[in-house]
Amino acid sequence: MLNDKTHLEKAEWDETEARQVIEQFTGLKGGLMEALHGLQHAFGFIPKPSYDLLADVFNLSKAEIYGVKSFYHDFKSEPQGHHVIQICQAESCQARGSRALTRHVQELLGIKLGQTTHDGHFTLEAVYCLGNCAVSPNITFDGKLHGRMSEDNFDGLLKKVAL
């Protein structure tokens, strides 16, 4: 069975912890980026209440904080699942079947791109070129790149994780 401890459980808001993370980077050049990385590491995403703390500490508006956070796709707005699957949606992968593969994976997991399963096990994301176009279609599964991904190969991969 899958590991029961999910990132969703880890993600509970804790203002004291958030303050401790943010205050380490007060007054440092590039401190905001470091603080965002710190929050993402601590909570698995950037919790909304942390925008107020960041705005205070770095003397910026909440809109400016949001702008920086949104520019970098690695900073997540929601808790991520225990396993993160990314499917390439760019041209070369689309030409070799990534749309059908995406439909298959969505049906299998019962979620759409950009969503996380209710049990917190899987997050499904779109990416746009993983630099591996020669062996399209490509996915990453927990950060590991897999080329020439077919529906059968994906099912096999999922079975291994689910054992």
List residues binding ligand FES (CB under 6 A): 88, 90-93, 129-130, 132-133, 136, 138
* HSE-up (13 A, CA, CB side) for residue 102: 22
Give the integer Cα–Cα distance in Å for 159 and 151: 12
What sign for the dihedral angle of Cα 15, 20, 26, 30? negative
Please, what is the minimum distance in Å from the beta carbon of residue 60 to ligand FES?
Answer: 36
Nearer of residues 102 and 132 to ligand FES, judged by Cβ = 132
Nearer of residues 8 and 105 to ligand FES, judged by Cβ = 105
Give the integer Cα–Cα distance in Å for 112 and 80: 14
Q: Which stretch of DSSP H or E encloses residue 100?
A: helix 98-109
Please, what is the minimum distance in Å from the beta carbon of residue 94 to ligand FES?
Answer: 7
Please, what is the minimum distance in Å from the beta carbon of residue 136 to ligand FES?
Answer: 5
Nearer of residues 54 and 88 to ligand FES, judged by Cβ = 88
Q: Using CA atoms of 16, 17, 20, 25 in order, give the dihedral in degrees to the nearest 10.
A: -130
Nearer of residues 33 and 145 to ligand FES, judged by Cβ = 145
Please, what is the minimum distance in Å from the beta carbon of residue 5 to ligand FES?
Answer: 32
